[in-house]
Amino acid sequence: MKIKIISVLLLSIIFCGTNQYEEELTINADALFGEISSFEDPDRDLDEQCNLLEEEKAYHENDNLPLSFFVEYEYYKFRYLGASPENVENYLNSLFNYCEMGVIFNDNWNSLDYQENLYQQLASAPIEPVGIIDE
C-alpha cells in the first residue's frame, strides 16, 4: 500500500512539475530554427526564450502599443530571418503557451493569411533614407 501511495505521489510531482507545452515547443523550435541559416545557437534555453518574450512584451506595453503589435512583431521577426509562415505560426503558438502568454497569442492572432499579408506589405515597402541634420 505504501509503495502505491509513493508511486502516485511521485507521478503527481513529475506531472505537475513539467510544462505541457515543453515538448511541442522543442519540436516547433527545431523546425523553425532549422530553416534559419543564420541561427547558430543549438542550445536554446526555453526559460531564456520566455524572458526575451517578456522583455519584448514590456517594450510594447511601455510604448502604449496594442498587444496585437507585439504578436505581429514576433511573426515579422522570424519571417524576416527566413522561416516559413507555417513554422513561425506553430513556433509562436507553442512559445506563447509555454511562457504562459497563450491568451495574448490567442486574442491577438488573427490568422496566418492576415499575418503573412501584413508581413508581405512591410517587406515590400520602399525604404526611405534617413538624413542626419547637423546643427
The reply to whether 105 falls in a domain is yes
pLDDT at 13 over 70: no
The reply to whether 10 falls in a domain is no
- Determine the Cα–Cα distance for residues 81 and 123; give it in Å rounded to an integer: 12
The label of the residue with cell 507553442 reads 94
- Whole-number pLDDT of residue 30: 80
Residues of the chain with pLDDT > 90: what percent? 52
Instruction: Tell me the average pLDDT across 20-28.
Output: 80
The reply to whether 13 falls in a domain is no
The reply to whether 107 falls in a domain is yes
The reply to whether 117 falls in a domain is yes
Q: Which three cell numbers stand for residue 42?
A: 543549438
Q: Average pLDDT over the chain, rounded to whole? A: 82
Report how far Cα 129 is from the mean position of its chain's Cα atoms: 31
Range of the domain at 65: 46-124
pLDDT class of 36 with cuts at 50, 70, 90: confident
Number of domain units in the chain: 1
pLDDT class of 10 with cuts at 50, 70, 90: very low
